[in-house]
């Protein structure tokens, strides 16, 4: 069933793609066939090879040498990436860019304008040069798809032809098309087998909708409050790319679908078709309904009022690979249609190594970053690989502009399967978390059935729907502003880590987020080599510390560097606080050496630098992660943690008193979960001023338990939540320059 409600726009899109592909990709060929998709991709056949296109390109290492994963007699799907777009001079380039600009759909044009870019189009909006593509196809390679972002075509080609293709002067690189992390068939923990109608639950107090069993997954991330405030995603165009969609389900049948396309079969039908496995549309049905489904008494997605684009990009047949090229085609398609949010619960690692997860290497990662640069909020799954041999996030979750989503339980604890960060270059991942355990969604096998499904595949559409609510509330915000608002209002924004990222989102708080003025002095910390692993006996790492005054006036400020320990406690400063003055536009970089003693506790540390007015006013920050191996006692002197190297102006490096980290400073709760009281216990190494307060998930203080001086030793306070509703709360302890946060769950 193909439903395109906006016929005029679909026709405009068809005309636009016919221009991009036919005129620029095919028109100079002979004896050719063009089968234009309903919304914009073409099949190509019978093309000739123009003369004068041969020279040398490069085969990716995965395709060469004894370690390659293919056999000589195989055919393989590869990306053939080209050196240029054959823009012969500046005038030709400008003309091509103007044509691309003129062909932007109004919705896409308005969305790109939000990014603040001087030019709304770039060379990534220009088509692949037709003769380059013909040269590849003339070898007998079978066309799969094309990418303007990558300036490439993907083709199936015999292995024996790879070296010949690599000799073409127009070919920059040939690399394999990566296979996907396969979300289906679902692991044993993923799906609750109940399939029929479940007993509808009455509406929760103070709600305008009867959420049924979807209430808790929405309330946990602030969606119920946003719905009460009138936000439903209305006017926002949301794209889902997945395995297919059972849109006859009662929670989806009335959803407005602006466009849909099957990138595998090249037709406008995203539901199951003859020859598809019966489970083909399952995964997409789960994600679509979790994001935008609506049926009173059973299920509401965060953005049930949005308009949708749905693309079928992945096969679930175990005999066929899920490959990244259709994903890339789907992203470019959604960008061209004017999508404002794209939610994808698929990922790719296949022949990629962890070193490739650096934010710049994997094809899907490059694609996502370009899509965000074009004004689209992109949300992706962290992956379910925590307990697998891979044990990392999966591309494109390593992209530096995507919102990567981890999974938590109904009590807010990280799911046992949720992939942890960091990226290879040390950036914290995921960005945020949402419910990913027993998420209520539509059954793909019954028009009235509902199931509970687990995985980051389900936390992602909840986040994608929440992002659509933020876009609805602030249509002028750029994707990076939406991302910042969701991250900086999440439950662990003050102490992010590689399990939860910045924590569980609260979309209503994100909607009310106020941006601070741009930092007058920016800081960037970059490890000289990554990843950083410190051996059992201790060691050191080198990093670059860059400070840049971005204003047109002199700035006097503090700069300092600290770190968060594996226990989540702040330790430092390791450097500073320095008092510096930078002239307008001044940009200074120093190479520093951070020592890590053998006594340091094992685990992952987050190393973070700040500019501002020490200690409370923070203009800007930058961070990366490192790992300490082995066991430590947690004790060290300042000298043990010395940060040396190229000095900053006026810096004094000196020893200091003994300081103690995680093992000497702790906060715990018992019982937890609790009703109605729990004992909060903490240890102090030395007498200090103590603040112990409790906050709800919206960041509101609900109790002050301690605010004053306390002696060294063990202390305990009782938190009485008799007058508070069930839910998750955060106890925050600050003492002696350290901060600890303990999550507690009230169950009445």
Say if residue 416's pLDDT is above 60: yes
DSSP letter string over 508-547? HHHHT--PPPPPSEEEEEEESSSS-EE-TTEEEEEEEEEE
Please write the tens of the pLDDT for every residue from 180-214: 654 433 443 444 444 333 334 444 555 679 999 99
Pairing of strands 341-344, 237-242: parallel
Q: 418 near 384, Cβ under 8 Å?
A: yes
Tokens of 251: 């929670």
d(CA 687, CA 393): 42
Pairing of strands 142-147, 75-82: unpaired
> According to the model, what pLDDT value does residue 615 have?
82
Least Cα distance to 627 among 400, 417, 405, 392 occurs for: 392
Q: What is the DSSP letter of 690?
A: E
**Helix residue ranges per DSSP H, 200-323:** 215-219, 223-228, 282-292
> According to the model, what pLDDT value does residue 667 have?
79
d(CA 545, CA 585): 16
Q: Which domains does the chain have, with CATH numbers?
A: 7-85+127-177 (3.30.70.80), 212-511 (3.40.50.200), 521-661 (2.60.40.3880), 665-746 (2.60.40.3080)
> According to the model, what pLDDT value does residue 155 have?
94
Burial class (CB in 10 A: 0-12, 13-18, 19+), 363: buried
> Could you tell me which residues come within 8 angstroms of residue 604 by beta carbon, excluding any fewer than 6 positions away?
422, 497, 498, 566, 625, 626, 627
How many other CB atoms are there within 10 angstroms of residue 354's CB atom? 15
Please write the tens of the pLDDT for every residue from 365-379: 999 999 999 999 999
Q: Give phi and psi for 481, each to the nearest 5.
A: -70, -40
Least Cα distance to 94 among 104, 102, 106, 83 occurs for: 102
* Angle at CA of residue 573, ends 572 and 579, nearest 5°: 165
DSSP letter string over 87-153? --SHHHHHHHHHHHHHTS-HHHHHHHHTTT-S-S--GGGSPPPHHHHHHHHTTTPEEEEEETTTTEE
Residue 587, preceding peptide bond in cis (omega within 30° of 0): no
Four-CA torsion 258, 264, 269, 271, nearest 10 degrees: -100
Coil, strand or helix: which one is 428? coil
- Is the pLDDT higher at 350 or at 438? 438
C-alpha dist (Å) from residue 399 to 367, 493, 526: 9, 20, 17
C-alpha dist (Å) from residue 350 to 163, 185, 344, 356, 418: 22, 17, 18, 11, 19
Say if residue 140's pLDDT is above 70: yes
Query: Which band of pLDDT confidence, cut at 50, 70 and 90, is reported for residue 438?
Result: very high
- Is the pLDDT higher at 250 or at 601? 250
Beta-ladder partners of 588: 547
> According to the model, what pLDDT value does residue 70 have?
53
Residue 471, preceding peptide bond in cis (omega within 30° of 0): no
Distance of CA 465 to the CA centre of its chain: 14
Coil, strand or helix: which one is 69? coil
Tokens of 710: 């306390």
Burial class (CB in 10 A: 0-12, 13-18, 19+), 479: buried
Say if residue 36's pLDDT is above 70: no
Please write the tens of the pLDDT for every residue from 684-713: 767 778 889 998 876 778 999 998 888 777
Say if residue 9's pLDDT is above 50: no
> According to the model, what pLDDT value does residue 746 have?
86
Query: Which band of pLDDT confidence, cut at 50, 70 and 90, is reported for residue 30?
Result: very low
C-alpha dist (Å) from residue 402 to 25, 163, 240: 31, 35, 15
Pairing of strands 432-435, 439-442: unpaired
Query: Which band of pLDDT confidence, cut at 50, 70 and 90, is reported for residue 632?
Result: low
CA pseudo-torsion sign 128, 130, 134, 137: positive
Q: Which of 133-137, 198-202, 270-274, 345-349 has the lowest mean pLDDT?
A: 198-202
- Which uninterrupted H or E stretch holds 560? strand 555-564
> According to the model, what pLDDT value does residue 65 have?
55
- Is the pLDDT higher at 318 or at 476? 476
Coil, strand or helix: which one is 164? helix
> According to the model, what pLDDT value does residue 207 have?
66
Please write the tens of the pLDDT for every residue from 237-264: 999 999 999 999 999 999 999 999 999 8
Beta-ladder partners of 78: 155, 176
- Is the pLDDT higher at 84 or at 206? 84
State the average pLDDT over residues 518-525: 91
Q: Which of 73-82, 429-438, 547-556, 665-674 has the lowest mean pLDDT?
A: 665-674
Tokens of 78: 């590869």
> Could you tell me which residues come within 8 angstroms of residue 353 by beta carbon, excluding any fewer than 6 positions away?
none
Pairing of strands 688-696, 701-710: antiparallel
Tokens of 557: 């400020």
> According to the model, what pLDDT value does residue 353 have?
87
* Angle at CA of residue 149, ends 143 and 151, nearest 5°: 55
Beta-ladder partners of 155: 78, 143
Arithmetic mean of pLDDT over the chain: 83
Pairing of strands 294-295, 299-300: antiparallel
How many other CB atoms are there within 10 angstroms of residue 49's CB atom? 13
Q: Give phi and psi for 199, each to the nearest 5.
A: -65, 125
Helix axes 363-373, 324-337, angle to 10 degrees: 10
* Angle at CA of residue 280, ends 274 and 285, nearest 5°: 120
Tokens of 175: 């690399």
Query: Which band of pLDDT confidence, cut at 50, 70 and 90, is reported for residue 22?
Result: very low
d(CA 211, CA 261): 30
Please write the tens of the pLDDT for every residue from 149-180: 999 999 999 988 898 899 899 999 999 888 76
Tokens of 47: 């093309």
- Is the pLDDT higher at 192 or at 232? 232
State the average pLDDT over residues 36-59: 36
d(CA 147, CA 571): 47
Residues in the chain: 748
> Could you tell me which residues come within 8 angstroms of residue 686 by beta carbon, excluding any fewer than 6 positions away?
712, 736
Say if residue 616's pLDDT is above 80: no
Say if residue 75's pLDDT is above 60: yes
How many other CB atoms are there within 10 angstroms of residue 672's CB atom? 17
DSSP letter string over 25-67? IITT-SS-EE---TTS---EES----SS------B-GGGSSTT
Specify the residue for token string 């007993």: 199
> According to the model, what pLDDT value does residue 201 have?
43
> According to the model, what pLDDT value does residue 81 have?
95
Q: What is the DSSP letter of 609?
A: E
């Amino acid at each position: 069933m193909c439903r395109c409600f906006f016929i005029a726009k679909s026709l405009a899109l068809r005309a636009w793609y016919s221009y991009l592909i036919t005129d620029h990709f095919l028109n100079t060929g002979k004896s050719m066939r063009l089968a234009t998709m309903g919304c914009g991709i073409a099949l190509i056949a019978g093309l000739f090879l123009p003369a004068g296109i041969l020279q040398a390109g490069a085969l990716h290492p995965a395709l060469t040498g004894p370690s390659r994963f293919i056999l000589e007699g195989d055919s393989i799907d590869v990306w053939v990436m080209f050196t240029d777009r054959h823009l012969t001079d500046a005038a030709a380039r400008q003309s091509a860019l103007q044509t691309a600009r003129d062909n932007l759909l109004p919705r896409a044009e308005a969305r790109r304008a939000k990014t603040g870019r001087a030019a709304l189009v770039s060379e990534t909006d220009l088509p692949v040069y037709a003769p380059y593509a013909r040269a590849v196809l003339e070898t007998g390679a079978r066309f799969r798809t094309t990418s303007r972002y990558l300036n490439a075509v993907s083709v199936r080609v015999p292995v024996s032809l790879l070296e010949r293709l690599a000799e073409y002067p127009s070919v920059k690189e040939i690399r394999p098309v990566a296979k996907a992390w396969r979300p289906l068939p679902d692991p044993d923990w993923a799906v609750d087998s109940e399939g029929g109608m479940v007993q509808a639950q009455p509406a929760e107090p103070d709600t305008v909708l009867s959420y049924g069993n979807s209430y808790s997954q929405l309330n946990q991330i602030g969606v119920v409050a946003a719905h009460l405030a009138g936000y439903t995603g209305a006017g926002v165009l949301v794209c889902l790319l997945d395995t297919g969609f059972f849109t006859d389900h009662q929670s989806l049948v009335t959803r407005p679908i602006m466009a849909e396309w099957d990138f595998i079969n090249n037709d406008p039908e995203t539901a199951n078709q003859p020859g598809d496995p019966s489970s083909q549309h399952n995964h997409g049905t789960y994600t679509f309904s979790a994001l935008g489904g609506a049926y009173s008494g059973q299920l509401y997605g965060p953005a049930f009022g949005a308009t949708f684009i749905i693309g079928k990009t992945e096969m679930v047949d175990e005999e066929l690979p899920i490959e990244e090229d259709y994903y890339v085609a789907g992203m470019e398609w959604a960008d061209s249609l004017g999508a404002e949010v794209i939610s994808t619960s698929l990922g790719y690692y296949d022949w990629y190594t962890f070193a490739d997860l650096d934010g710049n290497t994997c094809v899907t990662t490059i694609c996502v970053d370009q899509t965000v640069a074009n004004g689209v909020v992109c949300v992706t799954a962290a992956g379910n690989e925590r307990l697998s041999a891979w044990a990392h996030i999966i591309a494109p979750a390593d992209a530096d502009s995507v919102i990567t989503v981890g999974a938590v339980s109904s009590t807010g604890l990280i799911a046992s399967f949720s992939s942890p960060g960091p990226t290879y270059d040390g950036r914290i991942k995921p960005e945020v978390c949402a419910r990913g355990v027993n998420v209520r969604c539509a059954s793909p096998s019954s028009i009235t059935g509902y199931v509970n499904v687990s995985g980051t595949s389900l936390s992602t559409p909840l986040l994608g729907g929440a992002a659509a609510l933020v876009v609805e509330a602030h249509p002028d915000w750029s994707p990076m502003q939406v991302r910042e608002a969701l991250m900086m209002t999440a439950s662990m924004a003050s102490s992010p880590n590689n399990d939860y990222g910045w924590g569980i989102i609260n979309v209503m708080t994100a909607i009310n987020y106020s941006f601070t003025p741009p930092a007058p002095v920016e800081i960037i910390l970059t490890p000289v080599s990554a990843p950083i692993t410190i051996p059992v006996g201790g060691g050191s790492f080198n990093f670059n510390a860059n400070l840049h005054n971005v204003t047109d006036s002199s700035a006097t400020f503090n700069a300092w560097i600290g770190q968060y320990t594996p226990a989540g406690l702040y330790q430092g400063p390791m450097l500073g606080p320095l008092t510096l003055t930078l002239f307008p536009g001044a940009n200074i970089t120093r190479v520093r050496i951070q020592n890590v003693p053998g006594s340091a506790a094992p685990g992952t540390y987050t190393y973070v630098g700040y500019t501002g007015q020490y200690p409370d006013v923070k203009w800007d920050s930058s961070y990366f992660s490192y790992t300490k191996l082995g066991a430590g006692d947690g004790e060290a002197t300042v000298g043990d943690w010395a940060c040396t190297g190229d000095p900053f102006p006026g810096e004094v490096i000196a020893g200091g008193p003994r300081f103690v980290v995680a093992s000497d400073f702790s906060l715990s709760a018992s019982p937890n979960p609790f009703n109605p009281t729990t004992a909060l216990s903490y240890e102090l190494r030395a007498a200090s001023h103590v603040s112990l307060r409790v906050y709800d998930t919206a960041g509101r203080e609900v109790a002050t338990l301690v605010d004053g001086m306390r002696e060294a030793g063990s202390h305990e306070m009782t938190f009485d939540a008799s007058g508070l509703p069930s839910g998750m709360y955060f106890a925050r302890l600050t003492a002696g320059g350290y901060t600890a946060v303990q999550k507690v769950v009230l169950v009445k």
